Structures are given as structure tokens and as C-alpha cells.
Amino acid sequence: MTAVIVAAAMWLLAASLLILRRGRAERNITYAALTIAVAMTLNTDPVYRALDRLAGGDNLVTLVADVALMVGVFFLGRGVMKASEHQPRTVRLALGRVALVTAIFGAVVAFFLIELSGTTTNFMLELGDQPAAAIYSTIQFVYYGIVLSAMAVLAARQFRNTNGVQQLPPASLFIGSLLGVVLSVVVIAMDLAHVTDELDVMTEIAVTYEPLRLLAFLFLCLGFAGQPAARTLQARSRERRTLMFVDDLKPIWVEATMARPGISQNQQVAFHTDEPDTLLHRQVVEIRDAMMDTRVHFTVSDRDRELVERAERHLVGAVQTGSVTATSATTTGDGQSRR
């Protein structure tokens, strides 16, 4: 049932990202959501059984789903990396193609060394006592742990470089990444306990698996889905503040342009008054020009001067905020959900 919920949530998230991030050149997060949605759908029992029967009943769908999840996690890490600046070399290596290809190659080789015995929805429970199966699972979760550790580093950096509501997505990503790392350690410990026939130890450790998996999924999804939402909320809040400055500066601007006509009075120059940022910028420029032009008589009170300065800081702050990008949505769910 958990796999069905996770798969449905991933498809919903993928659809949301396709809408919220439409027109954006950066597509890694959307690719991650779609790929992981496919992986989680393949992990749902009815879909898995039906497709694996068509594939010959040798659990090949497990391999397809797990490789798809690894690719999804790769896109996830790349999306976070693209949203950050000056990444450490170790982070670039962890999130690079070489690490992905190496992990996939190792997992595929290990998979075909497993002695398979027909379709099973409890892949690791039934086959995890084989060294090849333990290696197969361990390779995947070592890769997940490395990628999520790199993501945690980048999310922490994004948190420090943002403020206000924009800090919520990277904070959620950081928590989700840490939970994912812990989940990877737990699964590797379960694999080692199983292959060494320490079934009691495996059972004790397994208690933490589902809570960690669901919490990691929740926080990562909130982080990636929250980014476009946070940007939208911040943009709307800034636009409201811009419009307030436009209204407050209008009387001063009218006086300034009467004393010293500016470009906004030139009918030959295109001037878009329906764009708040453009209008506010023009107001500030023309007020400043009138204040500095010694050929005209135009003075402002200390209160109005302070208002102009606040409007300038607002515009400069908008430019600086736009240059800092925070990062879209997924899960650390995996083929081991069939434990």
C-alpha cells in the first residue's frame, strides 16, 4: 500500500512540476520526478507482477525499476547542483555521470549473478541471503548515500545564501537528504545482517526502515515542490511592495517630471507602465535626476528622500535575490520496498 501511495504522490508531484516549472530551461528536477515516478510505479505489486510475467518471470522488472530510481536520483542531484554555485570537487564527482554509470554497471553485474527463482514481490527477503543480492542492494544504497550526502552539503549552502520563505525548501531538502543517508545506512546494515544469517538483527533494524523511508520522501518532496511555490509567493509579495512604492512615489514623481521632463514624457520611447518594476525604476531615476540637476528648482523633504532611498534598496534587493537560486521533488524509495 505504501508503494501505491508513494507512486501516486510522485506522479502528482511530476505533474505539478511540469506546470510550475514550465518555460524553465533547467529540467533536471522534472526529469527526476518523472523517472522516480516510473520506478515507484514499477514497484507496486500489481504492476510488477503483470510486467514481470511479460518479461519472463525472472524479476527483470526489479532491475529496471532500480536502475530507473538510480537515474532519477542522479537527475535529482544534478538539479540541486545546477541551482548552486562553486560546488566542491567531491560534490561534482558524487553527482557526476561517472559515478552513476559505475553504480549501474556494478548493480547490473551483481543482479545477473543472483540465482533467481521466478517472480517475487519480496525480492530481498527471499533472495537477500545470497552474497550477489546483498552486493546488488549495497551498491545501490552506497550510491544513494553518496548522492544524498552531496545534496545535503548543497542544501546547507543554499540555506545560508537565502532568507525568509526561500529558506524553507533548502531546509526541507537538507533534512530529507540526511534522512535518506540514514536510510541508506540502515538498508546496508540489513543486507549485511541478512547475508550473514543474523536474521534477528535484521528484523530489529528493519523497524526503522519504513518510518525513515516515508520521512525522507516527505521532506524531499516538500523541498522540491516548495521551491517554485516559495518563489511564486516571494514574487507576489515583492510585486505588492513594488506597487506600494509606485503609489507612494507618484506625487513626488509628478513634481519631478514637471520640473525636469524625463524619458517617460518622450512619446518616441517605448515605456511600459504596466510593468511595476520598470515603472518604479523609471520613477526613482527621474526623481534622482531632478534632485541632482542644478538647472531646475526641485527639492524634496527628508521624509520623501528617505522614501526614494527605500525604493532604491527595494529594487537593488530584487536584483540580488534574483541572482541567488534555491532548488524539485522525489523520494528515496527503492526496490527494497518489496522487503
pLDDT tens digits for 139-175?
999 999 999 999 999 889 888 887 777 788 889 999 9
Residue 55 has phi, psi (to 5 degrees) of: -85, 0
pLDDT number for residue 334? 39
In this predicted structure, which of 24-28, 40-44, 219-223, 257-261 has the lowest mean pLDDT?
24-28
User: Best-predicted range by mean pLDDT among 259-263, 268-272, 332-336?
Assistant: 259-263
- Contact call for residues 8 and 216 (beta carbons, < 8 A): no
Number of continuous H segments (helices) and E segments (strands) in the chain: 13, 0
pLDDT category at 323 given cuts 50, 70, 90 is very low
Which of 48-58 are b and which e, b meaning 16 or more Cβ less than 10 Å from the residue's Cβ?
A: beebbeeeeeb
Average pLDDT over residues 27-53: 88
For residues 245 and 27, give the distance between their C-alpha atoms in angstroms, rounded to a whole number.
Answer: 35
pLDDT category at 24 given cuts 50, 70, 90 is low
Mean confidence (pLDDT) of the chain? 82
- Please name the amino acid found at residue 332: T
| Contacts of 238 by beta carbon, 8 Å cutoff, 6+ apart | 314, 318, 321
Domains of the chain listed by start with CATH number: 2-233+327-338 (1.20.1070), 235-322 (no CATH)
| Alpha carbon 214 to chain centroid, angstroms | 17
Average pLDDT over residues 63-80: 91
pLDDT number for residue 287? 87
**What is the model's pTM?**
0.72
Based on C-alpha coordinates, what's the Rg of the chain? 27
Which residue has better confidence, 339 or 273? 273
Which residue has better confidence, 3 or 77? 77
pLDDT category at 199 given cuts 50, 70, 90 is very high
pLDDT number for residue 319? 47
Residue 248 has phi, psi (to 5 degrees) of: -70, -35
- In the chain, at which residue ranges do the beta strands (DSSP E only) sit? none
